[in-house]
């Protein structure tokens, strides 16, 4: 009697494992809109188009490539500050190209900061360079904003 009870409990436990697994996995993870890379956390760049659609990207280069391919200017580009994780409008962000890869899948090396001091410190530490003028990503969104 006891043995059968244990066997029944064990059977139920084994059968419910796949259900537990799928519950833990949840929804499929978000992916980069340019290359399909799975985003481990929130996207590093969010592009909002005129139509109101929002696209998330794994790195700055992917978002630029996406906009180039579309030939359309973005309504708004938000980038994530590496220091705080807070979103910043791209026009006001500081971009540093350094030796540190931001996204292994693409090899992108452009880093985003909300504060100029953080950007300069990263540039000094990792032999990078603050991007200015035409070098700045998303330069086409500058202007009458």
Among residues 65, 60, 73, 78, the alpha carbon closest in space to that of 131 is found at 60
Using CB under 5 A as the binding rule, whether residue 34 contacts Zn ion is answered as yes
Contact window for Zn ion (CB under 5 A) among 24-32, 85-93, 112-120, 121-129: 24-32
Using CB under 5 A as the binding rule, whether residue 39 contacts Zn ion is answered as no
Using CB under 5 A as the binding rule, whether residue 90 contacts Zn ion is answered as no
What whole-number distance in Å separates Cα of residue 136 and Cα of residue 124? Answer: 18
The size of the interface with Zn ion (CB under 5 A), counted in residues, is: 6
Judged by CB, which is closer to Zn ion: 47, or 88?
A: 47
Report 112-131 residues binding Zn ion (CB under 5 A): none
Judged by CB, which is closer to Zn ion: 64, or 118?
A: 64
Judged by CB, which is closer to Zn ion: 62, or 79?
A: 62
- CA distances to 39, 56, 108, 112, 142 from 101, rounded to whole Å, are 15, 19, 6, 12, 26
Report 51-70 residues binding Zn ion (CB under 5 A): 58, 62
What whole-number distance in Å separates Cα of residue 90 and Cα of residue 79? Answer: 6
Using CB under 5 A as the binding rule, whether residue 80 contacts Zn ion is answered as no
Using CB under 5 A as the binding rule, whether residue 37 contacts Zn ion is answered as yes
* Shortest reach from residue 11's CB to Zn ion, in Å: 45
Q: Residues near 105 by Cβ (< 8 Å), separated by ≥ 6?
A: 35, 37, 58
Contacts with Zn ion by CB under 5 A lie at: 32, 34-35, 37, 58, 62
């Amino acid at each position: 009697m006891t043995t059968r009870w244990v066997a029944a409990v064990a059977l139920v436990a084994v059968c419910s494992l796949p259900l537990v697994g799928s519950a833990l996995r949840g929804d499929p993870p978000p992916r980069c809109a340019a290359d399909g890379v799975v985003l481990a956390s929130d996207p590093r760049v969010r592009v909002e188009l005129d139509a109101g659609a929002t696209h998330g990207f794994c790195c700055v280069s992917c978002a630029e490539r996406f906009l180039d391919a579309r030939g359309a200017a973005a309504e708004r580009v938000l980038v994530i500050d590496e220091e705080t994780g807070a979103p910043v409008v791209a026009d006001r962000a500081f971009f540093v190209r350094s030796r540190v890869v931001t996204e292994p899948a693409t090899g992108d090396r452009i880093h985003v900061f909300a504060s100029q001091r953080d950007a300069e410190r990263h540039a000094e530490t990792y032999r990078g360079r603050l991007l200015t003028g035409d070098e700045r990503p998303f330069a086409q969104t500058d202007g009458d904003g």
